[in-house]
Structure 1
Amino acid sequence: MIETMRGPLADDNLGATLMHEHIFGLSPEVHWNRPDLPEEWEIERRALEAATRLNEIKALGIDTIVDLTVIGLGRFIPAIERVAEQTAVNIVVSTGIYCADTLPPYFGNKGPGSLFGGEDRMVEFFVRDILEGIGDTGVKAAMLKCVVEHAELNADIERLVVAISRTHELTGTPITVHTDARTQSGRAAYHALAKRGVAPDSIIIGHAGDSTDVDYLSELADRGLWLGMDRFGIESVSGEERIATVVAMCERGYAERMVLSHDAYSFNDRVDSAIVAVRHPNYHYAHISRDVIPELRRRGVTQAMIDRMMVENPQTILSS
């Protein structure tokens, strides 16, 4: 059984899954102090918009999304509950911390080696999210997330990786790591987690698809890691390059190690949506279904390979 916003779901009902998405990206301290901001955060309106977008991809054959919004990105489960009530798409939520270099002060100022010392609360926080539920919602997280962007981990990221590893040990929850293709930090993420006992088949190397270096990607896959080809629609790497990389990896036999997604949001107050729409016109939940999969088929990727990346691999990861 896999935990979702509506409770446990049998893994064979997961269906076609986007493994790295977001619903809302929020800056709560900004909104608390400036409710008149032009971004206009209003739960009911934004929840209906999100549900409408999810219902569109349900009609295109997507059954589940994994929302990787964690602490540091404005996770607010009551808002996601309103979305879940209005869509048939299954929503899997996550726990962890999004930080590239410095832990949020709530965690960073506590614990061994911190400025003020005391008990490290991260493991307790993550385990409770997974086993008991997030806040008082009863909604349980089913993914862990952290960030490793550099070849060398600083003290804060080391602490986070230790906490994520310990939580995985206690709960078995799979891990997505935000990595940077420019530094090829997937290697550092692997070594940091493996050193602490995390098996490679419990680790997704997030944003692996930002790389066009198929030798680097093959190296990660050969270690048994999952490759998150998860930024379709973001033109930091062209759509053509992203598709060509997936095709090349399929030709090498690695469909069994890849998952596909967009890393898209329905509402994100941290970007200017009008500018994003111009610069990244395909940055939305429907791009893979409407554009990417038909093009993969045209280039020789078989339906069996597509099903492996979209259905079987997500089911394996989430039910492990």
Structure 2
Amino acid sequence: MVATVRTVLGDVPAGDLGVCDAHDHLFLRSPLLPGQELADREEAAQRLRSFRGFGGGTVVQWTPHGMGRGAGSLAGLSRSTGVHVVAATGLHQAAHYPPARLDLIRDGLASLFVAELTEGIGSTGVRAGLIKVAGAFHTVDAHARLTMTAAAEAHHRTGAPIAVHLELGTAAPDVLDLLCGELEVAPQRVILGHLGRSPDGTMQREAARAGAFLAFDGPSRAHHGTDWRLPEELAALAEAGFGGQLLLGGDATVPDTPGMPFLLRRLCPRLEEVLGAETMTAALVGNPARAFALGPVRDAWP
């Protein structure tokens, strides 16, 4: 059976993704980023065209439910630019939502995630292809436990992978203990984001040994002073035998971040000097094809 990835234009063979930006945003809004919304469709199209011009094939948008993910525009953008786009369901940290909104959906999160994965996001007909959730700083707080529990249920019912925002790169062991231990999600179905924001090599190797995919998505914001360590971090993981778990992304969250074109134009050539072509091809092509593929569905939950 051929593995498939659920894009906004339908399911495609995982091997057709090509070069993949494994974590980025075409559209995003949050009360924590007032006046810095990603909401311009033509700017999104231009970024996709530029990404395509540098050899890009797929962009995975991690913008979850309720954060202006532009679901109604994603199919048209994918079709017009020739770039595969994967959309997300899921929920971010509580601070990104009005409390009244969380109260309305809190008890039905798993059903919401499943519906957006299988039926579509609202009336757009666009189906999500992954579930995005978020940890807290050095811990899994009550909100994270709630959303991760719902994500695990949706995963078991649909086979969709789970992508995790690690706050400043922390709490990976706690996230994996919950998702892969208590909630029985296979670690190969978990993608840990922002690992480079906490340059803790011991923690990174621990997450790698657990079997999760490791997303390094910088440079993404100007104040991320750890981005300069990215080549040595990736080299250490590759030399330790974890090159098959590495993913790369641009993670543009506000208009002035360099994002997906910069990933291929500047960052990847720099990384290839250190890692070599084989490891870079794995990180950009082979690893994403496995990380974002739909997996088997469990018949019952729990």
**TM-score, normalization by structure 1:** 0.82
Per the TM alignment, residue 241 of structure 1 is displaced from its structure 2 partner at its CA by: 1.2
TM-superposed CA distance for 1:26, in Å, is 2.9
Alignment of 1:1-320 (within 5 A): 1-26=4-29, 46-100=40-94, 105=99, 108-109=102-103, 120-181=107-168, 184-194=170-180, 195-235=182-222, 236-265=224-253, 268=254, 273=255, 277=256, 283-299=258-274, 301-319=275-293, 320=295
Tell me the SS of whatever aligns to 2:259. coil
Instruction: Look up the equivalent residue of 1:294 and give its one-letter code.
Output: P
Q: CA deviation at 1:40?
A: 9.5
Pairs aligned (count): 288
In structure 1, how many angstroms separate the alpha carbons of the residues matched to 2:35 and 2:155? 40
Percent identity of equivalent pairs? 27
**Cα 1:40–1:293 shift into 2, 3 Å:** closer
| Aligned-partner Cα distance in 1 for 2:154–2:37 | 36
Gap change, CA 1:105 and 1:40, over 3 Å in 2: closer
Gapped runs of 5+ residues in structure 1? 31-36, 115-119
Unpaired stretches in structure 2, ≥5 consecutive residues: 296-302
Which SS does the other structure have where 1:262 is aligned? coil
CA RMSD between the two structures: 2.6
Residues 160-215 of structure 1, C-alpha deviations (whole Å, 9 max, x = no match)? 11111111111111001101246x21111111112111111111111012122222
CA distance in 2, matches of 1:78, 1:102: 21
Matched-pair contact (CA < 8 Å) for 2:216–2:248: yes
Q: Which amino acid aligns with 1:187?
A: P
Report the CA distance shift for 1:298/1:109 in structure 2 as closer, same or farther (over 3 A): closer
- Secondary structure of the 1:285 match is helix
Question: CA 1:212 to 1:51, structure 2 compared with 1: closer, same or farther past 3 Å?
Answer: same
In our comparison, the structure showing a higher alpha carbon Rg is 1
- Cα distance change on mapping 1:287 and 1:58 into 2, 3 Å: same
- Aligned AA for 1:304? E
CA–CA separation in structure 2 for the residues paired with 1:223 and 1:27: 32
- Amino acid of the structure 1 residue aligned with 2:284: M
After superposition, give the CA deviation of every residue in 1:124-146 in whole Å (9 maximum; x if it has no partner).
11101011111111111110011
Q: Which moved more, 1:217-226 or 1:64-73?
A: 64-73
Aligned partner of 1:6: which letter?
L
Q: Tell me if structure 2 keeps the 8 A contact 1:20–1:67.
A: yes
Per the alignment, do residues 110 and 39 of structure 1 end up closer, same or farther by CA in structure 2, a change over 3 Å counting?
closer
| Counterpart amino acid of residue 83 in structure 2 | V
1:207-226 Cα deviation digits (max 9, x unpaired): 01212222210111001011
C-alpha separation in 1, matches of 2:70 and 2:230: 31
Aligned-partner Cα distance in 2 for 1:40–1:225: 31
How far apart, in 1, do the equivalents of 2:65 and 2:174 lie? Answer: 22
Distance in 2 separating the partners of 1:317 and 1:38: 33
CA displacement at 1:52 relative to structure 2:
1.7
